[in-house]
Amino acid sequence: MTRKAFFSFHYQEDVWRVFNVRKCWAIGKDREADGFFDGSVFEASKKESDEALKAFLRDGLKNTSVTCVLAGRHTAARRWVRYEIVRSVLKGNGLLTVDIHGLRNNKQVLGVKGTNPLDEVGVYLANDKIYFAERKDGKWVKYSDYASAIPASELWFNAPTSNTVVKLSKHCLRYDFAAQNGRENIAGWIETAAALASR
């Protein structure tokens, strides 16, 4: 069966580095990538409305089983990366972070390692219901782009048992593309994330 992965990233900052990762993933049988939409399509959806962009991103996640967050310096703070992460959890996708700061951009400049985006989104229990949270200005707040409660049955990891936020990174692995030979290993990392989520 073909493994279809969704790649979440900060377009303006990291697109050159991301396409280097995409090339590695595309080499090999039974692999397809999504999330690599043209920047102009993304910007056009953004101009329509937030709801139009959300629908566009949800559509991009269809038929995928793993979401790979390609993290650069500013990725963790990006609103739409966080939305892709939350929707991935709701969909049951496996999740992983791959740091790409060790790759050069189109000016041959290396990046700066950023915060793990999966450290900035979490889940917590309130009034016997589970909700998403995100870090803003150093504090955990209820996630505003998806405020509904999450059934525990929809989580592939253990549900939170208190109002203390559990970061998604607790359940997901993080890799360094340059330092850990991502060219050879990214397919295995994605398969591990799929296995953790029973996908």
Domain count, the chain: 1
Whether 103 maps to a domain, the answer reads yes
- Would you tell me how many other CB atoms lie within 10 Å of the CB of residue 25? 20
Whether 131 maps to a domain, the answer reads no
pLDDT in tens for each of the 199 residues of the chain? 567 888 898 887 888 898 888 777 665 555 555 544 444 455 556 667 888 888 888 888 888 899 999 999 999 999 999 999 999 999 999 999 999 999 998 899 999 999 999 999 999 999 999 999 999 999 999 999 999 999 999 899 999 999 999 999 999 999 999 999 999 999 899 999 999 999 9
Whether 50 maps to a domain, the answer reads yes
Whether 126 maps to a domain, the answer reads no
Whether 111 maps to a domain, the answer reads yes
Whether 164 maps to a domain, the answer reads no
Which tokens sit at 64? 């995928």
User: What is the enclosing helix (H) or strand (E) of 113?
Assistant: none
Backbone angles phi, psi at 60, to 5 degrees: -65, -30
Q: What's 62's domain CATH number?
A: 3.40.50.450
Give the 3-state secondary structure of residue 43: helix
Q: Give CA 149 to chain center in angstroms.
A: 20
User: What is the enclosing helix (H) or strand (E) of 91?
Assistant: helix 79-91
- Would you tell me how many other CB atoms lie within 10 Å of the CB of residue 1? 5
Whether 162 maps to a domain, the answer reads no
Whether 51 maps to a domain, the answer reads yes
Question: CB within 8 A of 55, min separation 6: which ones?
Answer: none
Question: CB within 8 A of 86, min separation 6: which ones?
Answer: 121, 132, 143, 145, 146
Q: Domain range for residue 32?
A: 3-115+169-196
